[in-house]
Chains A and B, each alone.
Chain A
Amino acid sequence: MIGICKISGDSMLPDYKDGDYVVYLSALFGANYSIGQCVVVQHADYGLIIKRIAKVREHHNYGLKSESGNGLNEQQLGVVHRGQIKGRVIWHIQARNPATKTTQN
């Protein structure tokens, strides 16, 4: 299944900025996610979040991490099950660079 969401926050900098959109694709036919993939997750405590897979654990469980050093870390995020992962990012639509916009104005 394909979905789209907008990013709010800076924990995935420098790759994903506040205001960017991402299109994600669910793992098909029970396929697993791999370390380093950026995923959209329905987290029990934090709601809909975007993070990167940090660890692949047993029984289709995963550890997540933020990109930026200030973001929620793997311990805070806990373990998520494959069922909570809505999909991996397959298309990144970046917001216009604010610096460029300022220059144009």
Chain B
Amino acid sequence: MIHSLLAKFDKNIPVAKAHCDIPCAIYDPSKAQIAALSVIRFLDLIAEIAESEQLSIAQQAKLSRLVREKEIHAAIVKEEVRVIWGDYMKQPQFDAYPDMHTLVHSIMLAGGAAKQHVDVENGHKLMSLVNEFAEAFWATKGVETYRATCPYPPSVETVYPKLG
């Protein structure tokens, strides 16, 4: 009852922070999106190498680098999404997007598949889910979004916030 009464004067009561981490409050899914685009790009380049009948030493070296980077960037996608989901999102966001847990879990699975295999479709699936996540994230901020083809390879549809 006293809490309800105080809640009516909420605007005049200062807030004492008790955050679980350094309260930087900077959350943005763009890093996850760029990492997902990179995964597609690496998968495209791997597919190009796969067309060769025999690989030179230089091609083998390039393939090794591409596979390594693909796995690193798929892991970045998973980490970035996990942080937003775990640190930024709270009950009000989950109430607004009841499927958020399922979406994040799907991103974890798609990220794992993109790490394990070299099928380009895995990269596109990951990007599609991360785009969906970005739309939901910006909606929680009250920021409109639009979809456009990114202006660099792999030239796939990407969600951007409408700012300014």
Asked if A16 and B18 make an inter-chain contact with CB atoms under 8 angstroms apart, the answer reads yes
Q: Across the interface, do A4 and B20 meet the contact criterion of CB distance under 8 Å?
A: no
| Size category of the binding interface on chain A | 20 to 34
A35 interface residue (CB < 8 Å to B): no
B162 contacts chain A at the CB level, 8 A cutoff: no
Interface of chain B residues 1 through 57 with chain A (CB within 8 A):
2-4, 6, 10, 13-23
Number of A-B residue pairs, CB cutoff 8 Å, is 79
Q: Shortest distance in angstroms between B23's beta carbon and chain A's nearest beta carbon?
A: 7
The answer to whether B2 and A11 have CB atoms under 8 Å apart is no
Using Cβ atoms and an 8 Å threshold, which residues of chain A touch B16? Answer: 5-8, 22, 40, 48-50
Q: How large is the interface on B (under 10, 10 to 19, 20 to 34, 35 or more residues)?
A: 10 to 19
Contact of B19 with A95 in the complex, beta carbons under 8 Å: no
A68-B20 CB under 8 A given contacts A6-B14, A93-B6: yes
Contact A5 B15 (CB under 8 A): yes
Which residues of B lie under 8 Å from residue A96 when comparing CB positions?
Answer: 3-4
Query: Would you call A9 and B3 a contact (CB within 8 A)?
Result: no
State A51–B20 Cα separation when bound (angstroms). 11
Residues of chain A whose beta carbon lies under 8 Å from any beta carbon of chain B: 3-12, 16, 18, 20-22, 40, 46-51, 66, 68, 70-72, 76, 93-96, 98
